Amino acid sequence: MPTNKEVRVRFAPSPTGDLHVGNIRTALFDWAYARHTGGKFIFRIEDTDRERVTDEYIAAALDTLRWLGLQWDEGPEVGGPFGPYMQSQRLDIYAEWAQKFLDQGDAYYCYCSSEELEARREAQRAANVAPGYDGKCRNLSPEELAAFLAEGRKPVVRMRMPDGHTTFTDLIRGEVSFDHNFVPDFVLVRGDGSPLYTLAVAVDDVMMKITHVLRGEDLLSSTPRQIRVYQAMGLSEAEYPEFAHLPFVMGQDNAKLSKRNGEVSIAWYRDAGYLPEAICNYLALLGWSPGDDREDVSREEIAQLFTVERVHSSPARFDMKKLEAINGDKIRALDLEDFLARVLPFLKRDDVVTGTEAELSVVRQALPLIQERIATLAEVTQMVKFLFVEDFVVDVDSAPKIADEQSQSVLKAALVALETLSDWSHEAIEAALRATLIEGLGLKPRIAFGGVRIAITGSHISPPLFESMELLGRERSLARIKASIA
């Protein structure tokens, strides 16, 4: 156990697409652990697979982490003493180590073709033997070697797994052991000379002095290979990083989270109006808990309370309903100016406002009315749109509801009551409508105000009616009621 060493944790995604919920949960835990221990949070991009990782995805990953407020101490853009932090810029380092392993006899060239390997694996499966590399090229005779070279074969570099087993202590799962009979010799360098994850990840973790590897449990069974590379690099067991394999975040149907069983891309949640602090709060609760019954935690509190000991070993299902509930809570907790700032990009995006002072003033007055009525920021549009539209029309679904005789007579009565009203405050409007419709016509409030609401806001769901009318103003309110009378 490294005790007085500074803790260094890395988040090292391979951006083959938009960062998804699972990536971010890992990033959050990495970040929280680093912050909790007063250590460093390192962000590294694993882009050795250049077929699948693109610059756009890398840029999006940086943006997403920043948006979530997971500030990294070392990594792309900020640099650091152990850079570069993009694996594609460290190719020479991996090549050097591979050569060293070759020289030491820890690794060897393997000339087997993909087709040959596949055929042999098939045979192993058929014979019910553990599939994996059979060690054919471990000790090639000079004649065999010469024959392969004459064929012009491009060899891969393969790590030699000695007999025995690898045992390590996972901070979350306890002692885990793998028999090397089930950990075949693995490839370090491709035929074209490019490194594989297994080589790059181990080399980088050592060279970047990573002390704790918190990552997804899908990497658990690759840990013996990673440890094998440490050994070849000359590390003693005490120098290995600690491992903690985080449980998966899964979809509702217990399958890996995917497009089919819930939205995965963090970008989607951002566009839908989820707050970064809500996402962090919710994700923190997936596989971890503070221990008491507390569920409302800020990023800072997560950092303060987070310990690996409290991380679960069992997978968690992602529940959008719960995220939504937390998001609603976080929205309600926003102060007015903050709320306005968050909501404005959505109003502009949806062409509700352009951002003039006059518009902002109205929005500012409307926000307190809707703050407890929305669960995501994007919903703000449908709630306040009626205050800004030039050519107002009632929703097609709601229009028929005010076309009947009773509704029409209510609207007419309301119009009469309001036309003579001099004070256009919501109190006065309410008093006038109550006097006329409730007391005068003996209607139930629900019936009385329902029609007016539709005429004014265009929908049967809206912010409180009288405040809405006050905000809309006398002219437009009366015009809308008139327009709805056939």
Partner RNA sequence: GGCCCCGUCGUCUAGCGGCCUAGGACUCUGGCUUCUCAAGCCAGCUACGAGGGUUCGAAUCCCUUCGGGGCUACCA
Write out the binding residues for RNA, residues 32-61 only, by CB under 7 A. Answer: 46, 48-49, 52
- Which of 296, 223, 305 shows the shortest CA–CA distance to 29? 305
- Which of 178, 175, 193 shows the shortest CA–CA distance to 225? 178
> Hey, what amino acid is at 55?
D
- Taking the complex as a whole, the smallest distance from the CB of residue 382 to RNA amounts, in Å, to 10
DSSP-derived letter for residue 127 is T
- Taking the complex as a whole, the smallest distance from the CB of residue 200 to RNA amounts, in Å, to 7
Question: Does the N-terminal peptide bond of residue 84 adopt cis geometry, omega within 30 degrees of 0?
Answer: yes
Residue numbers 293-332 binding RNA by CB under 7 A: 293, 295, 309-310, 312-317, 319, 321-322, 324-325, 328-329, 332
Beta strands per DSSP E along 265-339: 316-317
Spatial strand order in the sheet of 174-179:
40-43, 8-11, 212-216, 242-246, 165-170, 174-179
Report d(CA 69, CA 347) in Å as an integer. Answer: 23
Beta carbon nearer to RNA, 236 or 399? 399
Beta carbon nearer to RNA, 265 or 289? 289
164 interacts with RNA by CB under 7 A:
no
Report d(CA 86, CA 96) in Å as an integer. Answer: 17
Beta carbon nearer to RNA, 234 or 252? 252
Residue 263's alpha-carbon distances to 76, 252, 282, 331, in angstroms, are 27, 11, 15, 21
Residue numbers 279-298 binding RNA by CB under 7 A: 285-289, 291, 293, 295
Report d(CA 363, CA 459) in Å as an integer. Answer: 19
125 interacts with RNA by CB under 7 A:
yes
Report d(CA 125, CA 219) in Å as an integer. Answer: 23
Beta carbon nearer to RNA, 55 or 390? 55
Residue numbers 177-196 binding RNA by CB under 7 A: 177-179, 182, 186-187, 190-192, 196
Count of residues binding RNA (CB under 7 A)? 86
Residue numbers 391-420 binding RNA by CB under 7 A: none
| Residues with Cβ within 8 Å of residue 307, at least 6 apart in sequence | 36
173 interacts with RNA by CB under 7 A:
yes
Residue numbers 194-213 binding RNA by CB under 7 A: 196-198, 201
- Taking the complex as a whole, the smallest distance from the CB of residue 317 to RNA amounts, in Å, to 3
Residue 459's alpha-carbon distances to 395, 406, 423, in angstroms, are 6, 18, 25
Residue numbers 244-263 binding RNA by CB under 7 A: 247-248, 254-256
18 interacts with RNA by CB under 7 A:
no
In 10 A of CB 162, how many CB atoms? 10
Beta carbon nearer to RNA, 59 or 255? 255
Among 22, 273, 458, 463, binds RNA (CB under 7 A): 463
120 interacts with RNA by CB under 7 A:
no
- Taking the complex as a whole, the smallest distance from the CB of residue 485 to RNA amounts, in Å, to 20
- Taking the complex as a whole, the smallest distance from the CB of residue 398 to RNA amounts, in Å, to 10
Beta carbon nearer to RNA, 49 or 359? 49
- Taking the complex as a whole, the smallest distance from the CB of residue 57 to RNA amounts, in Å, to 12
- Taking the complex as a whole, the smallest distance from the CB of residue 354 to RNA amounts, in Å, to 26
State phi, psi for 314 to the nearest 5 degrees: -100, 150
Q: Is 247 helix (H, G, I), strand (E, B) or coil?
A: coil
Strand partners, 158: 108, 187
Q: Buried b / exposed e across 29-67, counting CB within 10 Å, b at 16+?
A: bbbbbbbbbebbbbbbbbbbeeeebeeebbebbbebbee
Catalytic (active site) residue 259: yes
Among 100, 121, 209, 474, binds RNA (CB under 7 A): 121
450 interacts with RNA by CB under 7 A:
yes
Beta carbon nearer to RNA, 296 or 351? 296
Residue numbers 56-95 binding RNA by CB under 7 A: none
**Of these residues, 259, 412, 444, 482, which one is catalytic?**
259
Binding pattern for the stretch 415-444 against RNA, x by CB under 7 A and - elsewhere: ---------------x--------------
174 interacts with RNA by CB under 7 A:
yes
Report d(CA 229, CA 200) in Å as an integer. Answer: 10
- Taking the complex as a whole, the smallest distance from the CB of residue 464 to RNA amounts, in Å, to 4
- Which of 263, 321, 333, 343 shows the shortest CA–CA distance to 296? 333
Residues designated as active site: 259
